[in-house]
Amino acid sequence: MKPVAFKYDAAVSVSDGCGALRDGANAKLIAGGQSLGPMLNLRLVRPGSLLDVSTLPEIREANETEAGVVIGAAITHAEIEDGAVRDPTGGWLRAAAANIAHRGVRNRGTIGGSLAHADPAADWVIVMTGLGASVTLEGPSGRRDVPMSDFVIGPFETALSPDEILVSVFVPKPAKDTRWGYWKYMRQVGEFAKASATVLINSEAGASRIALGALGQQPIILSSDVAEKVIGERMEVREALHDAFNAAGLPAEPENLALHITAVHRALAIAHADNN
């Protein structure tokens, strides 16, 4: 038995949970616990109480709308991988989910937990940013939607206020003929990515997007102008990334830059081969 002693409650509802977060001394949410679990066992995290939202029915639903799919925060990676949740992208989410850590982790880890934890190397952080998704946060004063590009604001840091709960993520249905590529670099299966990139190609609508992840901070989104140039091969990936690193105040360390350049090239190749 490794963690410090704490109080444990299973939340009965999201609003009840927000109240518990506000009133609890050093209260912390837990869903699948696949990132928090190791931190608890190592006593890196010492909560006064844990509030378990992993089985809350209201955040274990996925609903399809005309514009996309709203995925409840407590849906597991494995459920997305297995197609138990409608994938508005025609398989991109399933493929990304299938490469998260290991099956044993995917069976309990949740999409909302991963986003709220905001590990810079997490798959959903970069994939949802690349897809232009948004998250819905609920707090005592109601709900608000935050685009992924504004949600993660630093390493393990998000726009969530202490008494808010991430209840769902909205994944927009991509426009017709949109192509997609996601690639991450890992030395072995299941470890934290050292570089990652997503490429979304929809040049007709001028809605193409290239995002870089596993930077130790929040993802970088290339400007749509630069993204179009890179996709149209009117600009070298190296040049675009060098500029983007500079603009973000990240030093263009050769190894790190090289890994991200490779990630963009691979993601581009996957997107070009995408027959969706």
Partner 1 sequence: MTTAKISLTLNDRPVEADVEPRTHLADFLREDQLLTGTHVGCEQGVCGACTVMIDGRPSRSCITLAAACDSADIRTIESFDDDPLMARLRDAFSRHHGLQCGYCTPGMLATSYDIVRRVPDADNDRIRRELSGNLCRCTGYAGAVAAVADVLSQNPPAALLQPMPRTRQTARSATSPEAASSSSEPISASGQHTASVTQIPDAVADGVALSREVTIDASPESVWRILEDIPTLVTCIPGAQLGGMTGSRATGYVTVALGPIRSNFDGAADITTSPATKSGSAIGRGIDKLTRSALDGSLEFTLSEAAAPDKSTLKFDALYRLTGPLAQFGRPTVVAAIADKILSDMSDAISAKANGRDVDPVDTKPPALNGFAFAWIAIKGLFAGLWRRP
Query: Where in 71-100 is the site for partner 1 (CB under 8 A)?
Result: 76, 78-79, 82, 84
Where does 86-244 show beta strands of DSSP type E?
134-139, 142-147, 152-154, 157-158, 165-172, 179-185, 195-201, 209-213, 220-221
Q: φ and ψ at 82, to 5 degrees?
A: -80, -5
Examine residue 206 and tell whether it contacts partner 1 (CB under 8 A).
Answer: no
Q: Does 142 bind partner 1 (CB under 8 A)?
A: no
Choose, by CB under 8 A, the member of 140, 150, 161, 190 that binds partner 1: 190
Shortest CB 114 distance to partner 1, Å: 12
Tell me the one-letter amino acid at 210: I
Contacts of residue 37, Cβ cutoff 8 Å, sequence gap at least 6: none
Regarding 194 and contact with partner 1 (CB under 8 A), the answer is yes
Residues 226 to 255 in contact with partner 1, rule: CB under 8 A? 249-251
Of residues 153-182, which lie at the interface with partner 1 (CB under 8 A)? 154-157
Minimum Å distance from CB 59 to partner 1? 11
CA gap 200, 217 in Å, rounded? 21
State yes or no: residue 146 binds partner 1 (CB under 8 A).
no
Residue 64 or residue 236: which is nearer to partner 1 going by CB? 64
Is residue 41 a contact point for partner 1 (CB under 8 A)?
yes
* Cα–Cα distance for residue pair 202/180, rounded to 1 Å: 9
SS3 (DSSP) at 94: helix
State which residue, 146 or 252, has the beta carbon closest to partner 1: 252
Minimum distance from residue 169 beta carbon to partner 1 (Å): 18
In whole angstroms, give the CA distance from residue 211 to residue 223.
Answer: 9
Residues between 95 and 124 that touch partner 1 (CB under 8 A)? 101-105, 107-108, 117-121
**Which span (29-37, 64-72, 168-176, 219-227) binds partner 1, by CB under 8 A?**
29-37
Q: d(Cα 68, Cα 45) in Å, to the nearest integer?
A: 36
As measured in angstroms, the least distance from the Cβ of 87 to partner 1 is 14
* Residue 245: closest CA among 263, 262, 220: 220
Tell me the site size for partner 1, rule CB under 8 A. Answer: 73
Q: Which of 70, 160, 171, 214 binds partner 1 (CB under 8 A)?
A: 214
Strand 49-52 to 7-10 pairing: parallel
- The CB-of-206 to partner 1 minimum distance in angstroms stands at 31
Choose which of 14, 18, 21, 34 interacts with partner 1 (CB under 8 A). 34
Q: Tell me whether strands 220-221 and 209-213 are parallel, antiparallel or unpaired.
A: antiparallel
Beta-sheet strands, E only, within the chain:
7-10, 27-30, 49-52, 62-64, 68-72, 134-139, 142-147, 152-154, 157-158, 165-172, 179-185, 195-201, 209-213, 220-221
Among 47, 132, 139, 174, binds partner 1 (CB under 8 A): 47
